[in-house]
Amino acid sequence: MSAVSRFDNQDIIERYTDQPARLPDAVRRALSSVDSELAAYALADLDDGLAFTRRWLVFSANNLVVFEEQADGVRQIACVARSRIRKVLLTTGLSCHVLRVYVAEQAAPLVEARFTQRQRRSMEGLSFLLEQAALGQPSEAADADRRYADSVAQPIRDAQALVSTRRLAVIWRLLSYLKPYKTRVIWGMLAATAVTVLALVPPFVTGRLIDRVIRPAQAGELPVSQAAKIAWLAVLGIATVHVVSKFCIWIRLRLLAVLGELVARDLRSELYAHLQKLSVSFYSRKKTGSLITRVSSDTDRLWEFLAFGVVEVTLSLVMLCALAGVLIYLDWRLGLVVAVPVPLLCLAIHWHGQTMNRLFVRAWRKWSRLTDVLSDTIPGVRVVKVFNQHAREERRFGERNDDALAEFTRIHASWTSFWPGLTLALELTIMGVWVLGLPRLLGTSTRFGPPLALGNFVSFLLYTTMFVQPVEIIGQMARIMHRATSSAHRVFEVLDTEPEVVDPVEPVSLPALRGEVEFERVSFAYDGVRQVIKSLSFRVEPGELIGLVGPSGGGKTTLINLLTRFYDVSAGRVLIDGVDVRALDSGQFREQVGVVLQEPYLFHGSILENIRYGSPDTDFDAVVASARVANAHDFICRLPHGYDTVVGERGHTLSGGERQRVSIARAVLKNPRILILDEATSSVDTETERKIQEAMDRLVAGRTVFAIAHRLSTLRKASRLLVIEDGKLVESGTHAQLLANPNGVYQKLFRLQQQLHDAA
Amino acid sequence: MNSAIAIPRSELIPTREVAEQPLTLAIHDDGRLWASRAGHSLPVRIRRCFPWSAPDRYLSLHAEDNQEFALITDPSTLDAASRRVLQQALAEASFVFRINKVHAVEEDFELRCFHVETAQGPRAFQTALDAWPRETPEGGLLIEDVAGDVFRIEEPDALDERSRELVWELLD
């Protein structure tokens, strides 16, 4: 994890939890009197009576020390020498777990720490290191602060899928995507501004027309012919303003709508390109649905914000200020009557928005309960019928349906009351203008100001009606910003994730691998703490067929992940033809590695496209030849559309065995120097297995092959078998050699399988 | 105090005769809960089978290898000392936070952030926006935060008005 995300994790802890983001300085100072080197630490946040406390379990180079933060400072409450640790026990509960550290069997624990689920990851990491110490094994050097911060922040990161950055910073960053389209932005904004300014013109002209033309003409102060000429010119002017305004609206919509699309396109491309660079570990942490949403819905929501949200909000602010200015210019007394309530109306809309949010949360919850019934009972309709529960399910659905209706009714009751109320408030403002303006208009009173010209008053009324829309938009600004920043965050979170597996600046080029593979004292931990591969070494000559066997969870698939460099080793080296795999150009290297998985993955497209996935320009002869090697040609030709058959999403229109043979054909066509077969025949029937096995026998010829199989009989032809258990290489040799060892792991596994087979 | 006896896996599955023998519980010097029956004694973990439907009955005792050693369907059948020990062990194994007061509930970038007062003191925790609380049979609410800690509102109606207002959208 990069330094940037390390900072983020500490930031997340500070922002969301009540605990320190790192070991407090006071504890560090206290530790310095005992030991210097800090290996790991964790917080035990519950005391023996299950009340909150802060006890820090600090594992240093030589000791495990427990400190308690107290009102008057830090107190050391236990210290156990690393060399004395004999046993570590972690007992789990619902929200309270206990770690006990013993220095002798049956004796009282020297350390007993209770902690909540929030601390569990860091405590498990610490527990692992203590277990290593109990076994006399050294622990890997690591950054203790990082371990702690990663462990505590990880659940929040996973749920939130975001970095914790300020909302405004996100908006600025989002707006920076407009830079390449400066000209478009400027013209669009100019057009939008023109629309705003032009909207102010007709009411103004109308007022002037009444006061300076119509009324003088009616009073005989202006010749009718001259008045008519001026009036028609004014009408023409107003019409022109409307036409220009609509033209500007057209420019604005055209430029900014496409601008939003352009930025959304850029974001989608950048996001997708970045997703391709990210390491496999990233995908194991994130849900596929969440990533797809980021590329599709989130970028779409950002389009809406950039195309309309930014402009609408900006222009609404400009419009409100301009309207207030014009009204106060026309008549400051009446202007204030209209302008002063506006912030209050904006606030009212904002508050209403918050109430609606809460109502929607309730409705969303009730809606989820309703859809839960659907997602339960529609796929499980047979069970419902067999147990004759349709009446109960109908009742359950009916109750939840009524619940949802009640919430939606509440929502409708809220907004249908609010908006007429808001309109009424605006109209009352207008009435206020009438109440204060009418005496001045009629000249019956000067209490509220000097006499008022009719035209001014008409302008005033026209401007007042223009307040409604911007007030509404400003009131919804918080919601618009919230939606946009949430989406932007989700997108930026992916863009800011650094790939964990990175190619060197000047990689070693191995255009034609020989296929020699060596693991040299390799250790690996997915979480940086608990090692799943432990100092494992072996060497494979080019062309060997290596069977990887052993109990589930022993580390076989992890070995493959390290070999293909989906992950980097924590210690040691993986050498390909004598070169560290981390020094290679990973793209070029993977081009020479083929993988056939237990669950073959086919893309939506034709069989032809799937077989040619690694080399799209391959000719038909080679495709057919590969399919023949894979025992796939015959079944493909039986399909009505042959090689052009579209296999559907993930190849669902084919059977498991057919998919597997297509994936073998794909691997054959790639002609890899190193081939990995991961449980390739475990999920098919015997006849299909025979066909796949035949195909694989042809496929492995002349390559270095690593085959994982639980059915040990399928590995009899292997040059060597490596037995992996608990991350270690516990046995190696040929099938016959391993069977000859009466106490061997392989012999035991093989015997168990034989017994199962005989019993069947 | 019983000493540890290594019991073969097959013997952990109690025969009818063994199951009818009295079960005793004790906390040993090693800090762990030990169960003894028919001369066998071993450290066990305790779990409520129905933590919310029948919290006081059906308590399962598991050995370290996850085999069930005994099922206590009714704790009143135990002797008084064992019952005390049982309560002590349950308090720890079934510990969840009890919310007494809600200070604030806010939404923050896909998280619902709670600031509450628990029996243990103030606590801030977060849930995903679509992680709805679960109702318990007696009408309480269970909220599981992103880390997996469980928070319980035993009687939503007994909360103060402000707290009820804050969690209003989560209540029925």
Distance between CA atoms of residues A420 and A438, nearest Å: 26
Looking at this predicted complex, what is its ipTM?
0.88
pLDDT band at A308 (very low <50, low <70, confident <90, very high): confident
Chain A residues close to B126, C-beta within 8 Å: 16, 156, 159-160
Closest Cβ–Cβ partner in B30, B97, B145 for A102: B30
Closest Cβ–Cβ partner in B95, B107, B111 for A95: B95
Nearest CA in chain A to B123: A18
Distance between CA atoms of residues A63 and A35, nearest Å: 7
Nearest C-alpha of chain B: how many angstroms from A18? 6
Nearest CA in chain A to B117: A52
* Cβ atoms A95, B120 nearer than 8 A: no
* Cβ atoms A392, B156 nearer than 8 A: no
Q: Is residue A683 pLDDT above 70, yes or no?
A: no
Between chains, do A96 and B92 touch, taking CB under 8 Å as contact? yes
Distance between CA atoms of residues B3 and A106, nearest Å: 9
Q: Is residue A648 pLDDT above 80, yes or no?
A: no
3-state secondary structure (DSSP) of residue A304: helix
The pLDDT score that the predictor gives to residue B16 is 54
Distance between CA atoms of residues A515 and A704, nearest Å: 6
How do residues A568-615 score in pLDDT, each as one tens digit? 888 889 999 999 999 998 888 888 888 888 778 888 888 999 998 888
* Cβ atoms A192, A257 nearer than 8 A: no
Q: What is the pTM of this model?
A: 0.69
Nearest C-alpha of chain A: how many angstroms from B19? 26
Poorest-confidence range of A137-141, A258-262, A525-529, B82-86?
Answer: A137-141
Average pLDDT, chain B: 86
* Cβ atoms A145, A23 nearer than 8 A: yes
Sequence-distant (6+) residues with CB within 8 A of B101 are B116, B117, B159, B160, B163
The pLDDT score that the predictor gives to residue A100 is 94
Task: Tell me the residue length of chain B.
Answer: 172
Between chains, do B149 and A95 touch, taking CB under 8 Å as contact? yes
Closest Cβ–Cβ partner in A92, A109, A358 for B169: A358
DSSP label at A267?
A: H
Q: Is residue A68 pLDDT above 50, yes or no?
A: yes
Between chains, do B93 and A118 touch, taking CB under 8 Å as contact? no
Poorest-confidence range of A383-397, B13-27, B32-46?
Answer: B13-27
Closest Cβ–Cβ partner in B94, B111, B149 for A118: B149
The pLDDT score that the predictor gives to residue A694 is 75
Q: Is residue A232 pLDDT above 70, yes or no?
A: yes
Chain A residues close to B127, C-beta within 8 Å: 159
Q: Is residue B11 pLDDT above 50, yes or no?
A: no
Q: Is residue A474 pLDDT above 90, yes or no?
A: no
Query: SS3 for chain B, per residue?
Result: CCCCCCCCHHHHCCCHHHHCCCEEEEECCCCCEEEEECCEEEECEEEECCCCCCCCCCEEEECCCCCEEEEECCHHHCCHHHHHHHHHHHHHHCCCEEEEEEEEEEEECCEEEEEEEECCEEEEEEEECCCCCEECCCCCEEEECCCCCEEEECCHHHCCHHHHHHCHHHCC
3-state secondary structure (DSSP) of residue A565: coil
Tokens of A261: 């699309």
Q: Is residue A233 pLDDT above 80, yes or no?
A: yes
Distance between CA atoms of residues A69 and A27, nearest Å: 8
Q: A620-629 and A656-670 helices cross at what angle (nearest 10)?
A: 120
Between chains, do A368 and B130 touch, taking CB under 8 Å as contact? yes
Distance between CA atoms of residues A38 and A20, nearest Å: 17
The pLDDT score that the predictor gives to residue A519 is 93
Q: Which residue has the higher pLDDT, A598 or A133?
A: A133
3-state secondary structure (DSSP) of residue A721: strand
pLDDT band at A400 (very low <50, low <70, confident <90, very high): very high
Between chains, do A18 and B124 touch, taking CB under 8 Å as contact? yes
Distance between CA atoms of residues A375 and A367, nearest Å: 12
Mean pLDDT, rounded, for A368-384: 85
Distance between CA atoms of residues A306 and A406, nearest Å: 36
> In whole angstroms, how large is the CA radius of gyration of chain B?
20
Mean pLDDT, rounded, for B36-51: 91
Q: Is residue A714 pLDDT above 80, yes or no?
A: no
Sequence-distant (6+) residues with CB within 8 A of A220 are none
The pLDDT score that the predictor gives to residue A760 is 62
Q: Which residue has the higher pLDDT, A314 or B157?
A: B157
pLDDT band at B2 (very low <50, low <70, confident <90, very high): very low
Mean pLDDT, rounded, for A14-19: 90
Strand order in the sheet with B97-108: B121-128, B111-118, B97-108, B150-153, B141-144, B134-135
Q: Is residue A61 pLDDT above 90, yes or no?
A: no
Nearest CA in chain B to A108: B30
Tokens of A614: 């690694």
Residue B106 C-alpha from the chain's centroid: 28
Mean pLDDT, rounded, for A38-63: 93
Q: Which residue has the higher pLDDT, A56 or A252?
A: A56
The pLDDT score that the predictor gives to residue A3 is 36
Poorest-confidence range of A4-8, A124-128, A248-252, A683-687?
Answer: A4-8
Cα-based distances in Å from B20 to B15, B61, B70, B71, B162:
9, 15, 10, 11, 53
DSSP label at A380?
A: T
Poorest-confidence range of A59-68, A384-393, B159-168?
Answer: A384-393
Closest Cβ–Cβ partner in B91, B97, B110 for A161: B110
The pLDDT score that the predictor gives to residue A69 is 94
Pairing relation of β-strands A720-725 and A545-549? parallel
Mean pLDDT, rounded, for A439-455: 83
* Cβ atoms A577, A514 nearer than 8 A: yes
Q: Which residue has the higher pLDDT, A232 or A380?
A: A232
Average pLDDT, chain A: 85
Q: Is residue A288 pLDDT above 70, yes or no?
A: no
CA dihedral A416, A422, A423, A429 (to 10 degrees): 160
Poorest-confidence range of A55-64, A173-182, A389-398?
Answer: A173-182
User: CB contacts < 8 Å between A and B, how many?
Assistant: 120
* Cβ atoms A62, A16 nearer than 8 A: no
Distance between CA atoms of residues A731 and A534, nearest Å: 14
Please give the share of chain A, as a percent, with pLDDT higher than 90. Answer: 24
